[in-house]
Structure 1
Amino acid sequence: MRVERRHIIYVQGYDPRGLAQYYRMFRTELRKFTALSGVKSNVGRPVSDAANPIATWTIDSQGPDWQTRTRYDFLRWEDLIKPDLEWPIWRTVIHAVAIYCQLIAAGTITKFRKAHWRFASFISYPQFMLVVEALACLLITLLFEQALRLAGLPMLISVIAAAACFVALLGSLLKLLESRTYVLYLMADTIFTWQFAHRRRPDWDQRIAQFAQRLVTTVRGSDADEIVIVGHSSGSFLGVEILSQALAIDPDLGRHGPRVMLLTLGGNLPIIGFLPVSHRFREDLKRLAVEPSIDWVDCQSRKDVMNFYPFDHVTGHGIDVGAAKRNPKIMTVRFRDIIAPENYTAFRRHFFRIHFQFVMANERPNAYDFFMTVCGPVSLRDRADHPAAALAIATGDGAARSEAWRQLQASPTDIAPADGAN
């Protein structure tokens, strides 16, 4: 199938930057994509209103022998995220530490480590940094307390003054270093995930229900060749929630016309699914594993500490559906093959930069290409099953493109069951 019309529904993760900064990044990365690929693309301005937490823009693209129009919906959460980040520092720290202790007690951290030790290290990183900063403040506080006692102050007064000094120092240090460490942001993310899994965030539940109903309406009235729900980072489990609720509203969702796809990028579904309380979420995964009208492609990378690799989001959660399993199709993304060699050493040092590469432009042609997925003529389903042919259509000469299209037409497209390292 040659795609001429595509509808992308982008589910961002727990990111307070929101529409303005995301659109700016999207436009910048699109320009890089066109420079690398030779594709001509024109992106429209986002359209949104205060009553609707969805922004929409269009991308018109043209290659050597194809052209596409993509409608891009950006689902907005920033109004729900910003109040979380305005909590007092002490409240964030106490809540995050308490949650981490519960994760240890329940054995969830151990499960994370067995599934992907890098993610276990990442989720423990804020606690480690908190201890380091607290020890530094404690050392200063002890020196301050000794100075007070040498000055002749009673022990009780010096201890109280030292305690107040410690709290003030730690809060100031956390705030001062936040732009480098992201400790408070990551703690807020942990708190949100925990609350969301325990159904203590009715504001998010209401927004997800709104988006699910919008998805049903969109599929019923769309003239697109394919509709792709893209969930990046924690947007992966939010995308699963939205799609699952849409299927509950309309079990025939993927049978109305456009093929409905779920694309998860840098996903961290176990952060919800491994919690003992998440029975409903695991049932959603079980349903998607066997749903014939929905194709699910999951892209993951060993280099990204914020996703799980190698990991099957169905079997990895202990879900056994036997031979009926058809989702997800796992695509391994090797960032070394995407980033220019001269930039790779600096690239690999920044975990947020690595994590966002899933939705940024390539520096080298590769079978994985987010903007070809958004703008190109090959369907996501074909791209997942036949990456070499998809790359040939993007980068080859006329003969190579014709042969690649012939291969796609000759091969029945069927998302194969994932083996954990496709």
Structure 2
Amino acid sequence: MKAGQRLMGTKGENGVTRRRVFYIPGYDPIPPRRYRELYRKESAKQAAISDYSITIAPKSGPRFGWSVDGGIEGGKTRAEIDVLVWSDIVKDSMEAGILRTYAILARTAWTYLSTGALFRQMRLRKGPVIAALYPVAMLTGQAILAVVVFALIFALGRGQGPLWAAVAGGAGALAAYGLLLWFKKMDGKFFAYYLMHDYGFSARWRGADPPALTARMAEFRADIAQAVTEDWDEVLVIGHSSGAHLGISVMADLIRAGEVPEGGPALSFLTLGQVVPMVSFLPEAKVLRRDLAYLSATDRLFWVDVTAPGDGCAFALCDPAGVTGVAPEGQTGPLILSAAFTQTLKPETWKRLRWRFFRLHFQYLCAFDNPAAYDYFKVTAGPKTLAARFADVAPSPSRITAPVGRYREVAP
């Protein structure tokens, strides 16, 4: 593995004073303001822990974002951060009612079971597979409970004659449906509907790019293509969770189209908490597999992938190209690193967060009590490019690179 040995661009080689950052969220219906507030709150915590300075301010422009001034490692930097928004597409995909959600459950379960993707993913990490099975179990349990409520009410009236049986049947049906409505209303606590729509979003097209995202990804690419022609020292693209595999295709298209100029800003790619095998193991993920193979062999950018075994929602330390089975000869990336939550968080912090799975899935964007090589705020607001920061960092010895995915066909 030669990850970390190549660097595209020259402007940032002697240090970064101006950086453009593009952040691609995962499957998240919440408006992008949440990411600004998270950055504001957590950067202040990390600055206090690590003894550096970070201030943020609003920024102008067509996309939502913010400006960051950093005083880190003896350098002064200004970063402009943009969130590449697709929360509206997520919201539209989550508009399904109760019955349609159960239809999505059946279709998604059949897709992952019939293709063998689920069983192969279990050979990598059980955590994200359990996370995928959770909404199936929860929604099935809710349906069973609704049937039990109906049966109990109906049983009370059935022995009182036909009229009472009909009344009890109607009352039982209303009670059962009301219970299902209550569960849906309370999904902010259960996350069953949210996760079901998340997994169903990609499964519907068996790994192919959802049509609603194709145009949006082209817009993301156009924004990044413009930035690499401007006077920045580094252009950094960050993909979190399912935003990672979107970023892989966006960056591959960008470079393949010849839109990265020689001598331009250093081009960097950071993936966090990636769930790439949830998509790349599906039969129609031919474009993603092509882009994985291409991006993991290019010398036109520097790619770091950060996950943590403590994150049950990510395929921790899995080389996305390697485990999919499309890693090429002469692979240059990504550099696989562990955020090592049990070491970078204090024992009391780890104890508090250990079972808060969604919070841990966002820990990559948050402050660490004992930061190691990876520090989100040094990466986004510090004076070093991604390549310079991780030039002497060895990949995790626990990384998983053996091919597991069944489907290897790639798009032309």
The bucket for the TM-score relative to the shorter chain is 0.7 to 0.9
Question: How far, CA to CA, are the matches of 2:294 and 2:272 in structure 1?
Answer: 20
How many angstroms does 1:46 deviate by? 3.9
How many angstroms does 1:63 deviate by? 3.4
Q: Which residue does the alignment assign to 1:17?
A: 30
Contact 1:298 1:331 in 2 (8 A): yes
Amino acid aligned to 1:149? R
Question: How far, CA to CA, are the matches of 2:221 and 2:112 in structure 1?
Answer: 30
Q: Which segments of 5 or more consecutive residues in structure 1 lack a partner in the other structure?
A: 388-414
1:57 corresponds to 2:66 = yes
How many angstroms does 1:176 deviate by? 4.1
Q: Which residue does the alignment assign to 1:297?
A: 304
Name the Cα RMSD after superposition. 2.4
More helix by share: 1
TM-score scaled by structure 1?
Answer: 0.85
Contact 2:345 2:368 in 1 (8 A): yes
How many angstroms does 1:195 deviate by? 3.8
Q: Which residue does the alignment assign to 1:98?
A: 107
Q: Which residue does the alignment assign to 2:266?
A: 259
Question: How far, CA to CA, are the matches of 2:223 and 2:256 in structure 1?
Answer: 13
Q: Which residue does the alignment assign to 1:275?
A: 282
Contact 2:142 2:180 in 1 (8 A): no
Question: How far, CA to CA, are the matches of 1:99 and 1:358 in structure 2?
Answer: 28
Q: Which residue does the alignment assign to 1:2?
A: 15
- Greater RCO (CA < 8 Å, at least 6 residues apart): 2
Q: Which residue does the alignment assign to 1:117?
A: 126
Contact 2:20 2:235 in 1 (8 A): yes
Instruction: Select the residue among 228, 237, 248 that pairs with 1:240.
Output: 248
Q: Which digits, 9 at most, give the CA deviation of each residue in 1:244-270, with x for residues without a partner?
A: 2212332x6163411211110000111
How many angstroms does 1:33 deviate by? 1.8
More deviation, 54-63/274-283: 54-63
What is the count of residue pairs matched by the alignment? 388
Secondary structure of the structure 2 residue equivalent to 1:151: coil
Q: Which digits, 9 at most, give the CA deviation of each residue in 1:228-285, with x for residues without a partner?
A: 11000111011112112212332x6163411211110000111110001111210111
Question: How far, CA to CA, are the matches of 2:39 and 2:354 in structure 1?
Answer: 21
Task: Check 1:115–1:3 CA distance in 2 against 1; reply closer, same or farther (3 A cut).
Answer: same
How many angstroms does 1:159 deviate by? 8.7
1:84 corresponds to 2:90 = no
How many angstroms does 1:417 deviate by? 11
1:380 corresponds to 2:386 = yes
1:208 corresponds to 2:225 = no
Q: Which residue does the alignment assign to 2:343?
A: 337
Contact 1:6 1:224 in 2 (8 A): yes
Instruction: Select the residue among 361, 368, 393 that pairs with 2:367.
Output: 361
Amino acid aligned to 1:240? I
Q: Which residue does the alignment assign to 1:44?
A: 57
TM-score scaled by structure 2?
Answer: 0.87
Question: How far, CA to CA, are the matches of 2:209 and 2:157 in structure 1?
Answer: 46
Task: Check 1:98–1:202 CA distance in 2 against 1; reply closer, same or farther (3 A cut).
Answer: closer
Contact 1:18 1:77 in 2 (8 A): no
Secondary structure of the structure 2 residue equivalent to 1:260: strand
Q: Which residue does the alignment assign to 1:321?
A: 328
How many angstroms does 1:43 deviate by? 0.9
Q: Which digits, 9 at most, give the CA deviation of each residue in 1:209-230, with x for residues without a partner?
A: 1111221121112x22221110
Contact 1:41 1:61 in 2 (8 A): yes
Amino acid aligned to 1:212? R
How many angstroms does 1:133 deviate by? 2.0
Q: Which digits, 9 at most, give the CA deviation of each residue in 1:65-89, with x for residues without a partner?
A: 2111111111111222222222212
Contact 1:10 1:231 in 2 (8 A): yes
Q: Which digits, 9 at most, give the CA deviation of each residue in 1:186-222, with x for residues without a partner?
A: 111112222465557333111111111221121112x
Amino acid aligned to 1:290? A
